[in-house]
Amino acid sequence: MKRELALSNSISTPGVAAGRLPARTCEENFADLRPPLTAHEAAVAAARCYFCHDAPCVTACPTAIDIPLFVRQISTGTARAAAKTIFDRNILGGMCARACPTETLCEQACVRQAAEGKPVEIGRLQRFATDALMARDRHPYERAGPSGRRIAVVGAGPAGLACAHRLAMKGHAVTLFDARAKAGGLNEYGIASYKTVDRFAEREVEWLLGIGGIVLELGRRLGGGLTLDGLVDDYDAVFLGLGLAGVNALGVEEEAAENVRAAVDFIADLRQTSDLSTLPVGRHVVVIGGGMTAVDAAVQSKLLGAEDVAMVYRRGRDRMNASGFEQDHAASTGVRIITGARPVRVLGEGAVREVEFAYTEDGPDGLRDTGETFRLRADQVFKAIGQKLDGSPGGLALEGRKIRVTGPGRTSRKGVWAGGDCVAEGDDLVVTAVAQGRDAAEDIHAALMV
């Protein structure tokens, strides 16, 4: 049995093209999602905090920032002191204030949320404070005296940056390697542009490197000139913050059709485009997946001028990794969210023309097809069904398809630590990666200074 869903009656498919919207319109569409607070707005927002002694918001924060303290500091007019409280626990607090799903972490745990359904705006207050301190020319931390130890950090994403900064602060000499042309990892290449405007990711890296003691080597990939054996021989310790470079396959017929690509690649291209109106986008876009990456790809396709964007997820909305806020944001921009459906076939001669889906339902034995199918017209398809680690670097033990670690990032190989999305405990959140990089740095320091 086949049921057609929201297909156009048009016979021809215009395909993927740039310039669907004028440059000025694109610029307006990609304006700051959550604009910064003014000083008055910050004071009002801070005044709502109960300053709980055993604040549940702190427990809900993966980096355990003392939120009541920094909010109180803002309320007393000392925003730079508030920023120092934040950076002591999370050196990428500026990005986390913009991109962290606070609505499911600290703000969801806020007592005001439980009492009134409206939490203290912790994320925006964090941005207010961190922006104030980052605007100063002088870096807020100083290095300890040289330790004589050299550490290699592979991967300049959130975990690697946090690890490198903490190690440099303790006096170690750090070499930070990254495969791409810019540092930042997910922050630079994987987050929707409207969440981090004005080159913030790039500026944050420049600011972080102001601590000194960190040598950045770009275009250096593990396995492409760098080997784990060589790094272990040349350095006193190694930290791997590799992220996840591989993209899971849909596993359906004709997946290799033209204009079927990974959502993360689309987002990366968008983030590196100076004129958004030049980025090609389809009239009919289908995004497969239910996480933050799926939402970012779907929303940005709509903002670039796609007429019809559908995000399709195999389970119900309550099982989607994207937060309720992100789902609502997608819907508010005109993205259709279709749940309980999985792709079974990509149709088209060369370029994709349609995607066929099977309706699904959860049963006692897990997810199963109902026997009904439908098709969505598509001239562009983005896969956002998760990423994976490509192989096992240096033969490290894996847990599932990620690096197995114990304690603060210790791998199966002595002298090698890991953190972020590449480890089994990673959860695709910038804030969690920062915490893992920071904690691994502390453990590396303790091990080296025995």
Residues 44 and 119 in one domain: yes
* Model pLDDT for residues 34-70, shown as the tens digit of each residue: 999 999 999 999 999 999 989 999 999 999 999 999 9
Least confident piece of the model among 94-103, 274-283, 363-372, 389-398: 389-398
Residues 192 and 283 in one domain: no
Residues 261 and 339 in one domain: yes
The whole-chain average pLDDT of the chain stands at 93
Distance CA 221, CA 226 (A): 6
* Mean pLDDT of all residues in 19-26: 95
Residues 100 and 165 in one domain: no
What is the end-to-end Cα distance of the chain in Å, rounded? 69
Number of compact structural domains in the chain: 3
Query: Is residue 240 in some structural domain?
Result: yes
Residues 269 and 307 in one domain: yes
- For residue 364, pLDDT beyond 90: no
Query: Is residue 438 in some structural domain?
Result: yes
Give percent above pLDDT 70 in the chain.
96
**pLDDT band for position 363 (cuts 50, 70, 90):** confident
Residues 237 and 267 in one domain: no
Residues 200 and 314 in one domain: no
Q: What are phi and psi of 301, to 5 degrees?
A: -60, -45
- For residue 164, pLDDT beyond 90: yes
Give percent above pLDDT 90 in the chain.
86
Look at residue 12 in the predicted model and tell me its pLDDT. 41
Top-confidence residue, 13 or 96: 96
Given 134, 162, 177, the domain boundary residue is 134
Alpha helices for 263-400 (secondary structure H): 263-271, 292-303, 324-332
- For residue 10, pLDDT beyond 70: no
**Is the distance from CB of 66 to CB of 437 less than 8 angstroms?**
no
Q: What is the CATH number of the domain that holds 167?
A: 3.50.50.60
**Is the distance from CB of 412 to CB of 404 less than 8 angstroms?**
yes
* Model pLDDT for residues 383-428, shown as the tens digit of each residue: 999 888 877 888 899 998 899 999 999 999 999 999 999 999 888 8
Residues 251 and 241 in one domain: no
Residues 214 and 124 in one domain: no
Q: Output the CA–CA distances (angstroms, integers) from residue 291 to 287, 371, 384, 429, in the order listed.
A: 11, 26, 7, 11
Residues 345 and 376 in one domain: yes
Given 332, 364, 383, the domain boundary residue is 383
Residues 226 and 179 in one domain: yes
**pLDDT band for position 2 (cuts 50, 70, 90):** very low
Beta bridge partners of 120: none
**pLDDT band for position 246 (cuts 50, 70, 90):** confident
Domain that residue 398 falls in = 150-245+389-448
Given 383, 410, 433, the domain boundary residue is 383
Look at residue 426 in the predicted model and tell me its pLDDT. 82
